[in-house]
Amino acid sequence: MQDISPPRAQTARERARDQITAEIVAAARIRLAESGPADLSLRAVARDVGMVSSAVYRYFASRDELLTALLVLAYDDLGAATERADAAVADRDDFQARWFASLRGIRRWALANPGDYALLYGSPVPGYAAPQTTVEPAVRVILVILRIVTEGHAAGAIVVPASSDVGSDGGPGDAALAHAVGGAVQFVRSRGLVDGEVPLELVVRTLIAWTTVFGTISFELFGHLVGSVTDTDAYFDLLADRLFRDLGFGGPGSRDHD
């Protein structure tokens, strides 16, 4: 195969440019770790890499563009960390172990990189809208937990929890469900995660689990659990367990292994 673009012989200039770009991002990431995203100063970053602020603009058109680069990097880092956590479980059919490993991996990454986490899941920087390029890296972490659920379902380890029609109106529950989480269903289909029918209630439950995990981590990092949760490590495991069971895992018949 012809190496068309990626490993094409870079000119010295290009190599230097890439290297300096990486240097800037690295310096920015360090500063981000010890101050919030809103506090990130382009001038300070410039000083760190031994440049004057205007020189940085040769590499990033604006502070927002630097933030976007950090965003992509952080999403990828989180995604990779979560994938690693899941992959570390040897028995691929031990969905409980995979679930715990992945969720703990997410939380561990967040605690280790609070600045990045705040950038990703905190309040958005005012006036800043993440461009489309950030979508794909953002999806990685979701895919990990989605795969556990879909594979678990395919393996018959899930008893899809009962849906309920206790909505405000007595209408047909499934149509309402399909409409509400239509995007997620389409997403799961487009990624080829499931062939055949997608149980809507499972989609809803997975969305809830996803939201709860990040909601909990955000609460922990942002100080909202102080006073209520005494042992955050233990609480998170408790949470992971409840979410796992609410998904329909570990139901009747699938005794756990110890």
Q: Considering the complex, what minimum distance in angstroms separates the CB of residue 62 from a second copy?
A: 16
Residue 208, binding choice from DNA, a second copy, none, Cβ under 5 to 8 Å by partner class: a second copy
Residue whose C-alpha is closest to residue 144's, from 170, 182, 179, 109: 109
Residue 7, binding choice from a second copy, DNA, none, Cβ under 5 to 8 Å by partner class: none
User: What are the tokens at 232?
Assistant: 């955050």
Give the separation between CA 199 and CA 8, rounded to whole angstroms.
Answer: 46
Q: What burial class does residue 215 get, using C-beta atoms within 10 Å of its C-beta: 0-12 exposed, 13-18 middle, 19+ buried?
A: middle
Stretch touching DNA by CB under 7 A, among 46-54, 87-95, 115-123, 193-201: 46-54
Give the separation between CA 55 and CA 27, rounded to whole angstroms.
Answer: 15
**Nearest residue (CB) to a second copy, 52 versus 166:** 166
Where helices occur in the chain by DSSP H, the ranges are 12-33, 42-48, 53-56, 63-87, 95-112, 114-121, 135-154, 173-180, 182-190, 200-221, 232-246
Regarding 52 and contact with DNA (CB under 7 A), the answer is yes
Determine phi and psi for 179, rounding to 5 degrees. Answer: -70, -40
Residue 57, binding choice from a second copy, DNA, none, Cβ under 5 to 8 Å by partner class: DNA
User: What are the tokens at 27?
Assistant: 């310096």
Task: Say if residues 27 and 66 touch (Cβ distance below 8 Å).
Answer: no
Give the separation between CA 126 and CA 130, rounded to whole angstroms.
Answer: 11
Residue 135, binding choice from DNA, a second copy, none, Cβ under 5 to 8 Å by partner class: a second copy
Out of 11, 168, 228, 230, which residue is the one contacting DNA (CB under 7 A)?
11
Residue whose C-alpha is closest to residue 122's, from 184, 32, 235: 32
User: What are the tokens at 188?
Assistant: 């799961």
Regarding 224 and contact with DNA (CB under 7 A), the answer is no
Q: Considering the complex, what minimum distance in angstroms separates the CB of residue 251 from DNA?
A: 52
Task: Say if residues 74 and 33 touch (Cβ distance below 8 Å).
Answer: no
Residue 230, binding choice from a second copy, DNA, none, Cβ under 5 to 8 Å by partner class: a second copy
**Nearest residue (CB) to a second copy, 17 versus 140:** 140
Out of 6, 7, 50, 126, which residue is the one contacting DNA (CB under 7 A)?
50
**Interface ranges with a second copy (CB under 8 A):** 35-39, 96, 100, 118, 121-127, 130, 135, 164, 166-168, 170, 176-177, 179-184, 187, 204-205, 207-208, 211-212, 214-216, 218-219, 222-224, 226-231, 234-235, 237-239, 241-242, 244-246, 250, 256, 258
Residue 50, binding choice from DNA, a second copy, none, Cβ under 5 to 8 Å by partner class: DNA
Stretch touching DNA by CB under 7 A, among 34-42, 91-99, 168-176, 224-232: 34-42
Which residues are near DNA by CB under 7 A? 11-13, 16-17, 20, 40-44, 50-55, 57-59, 61-64
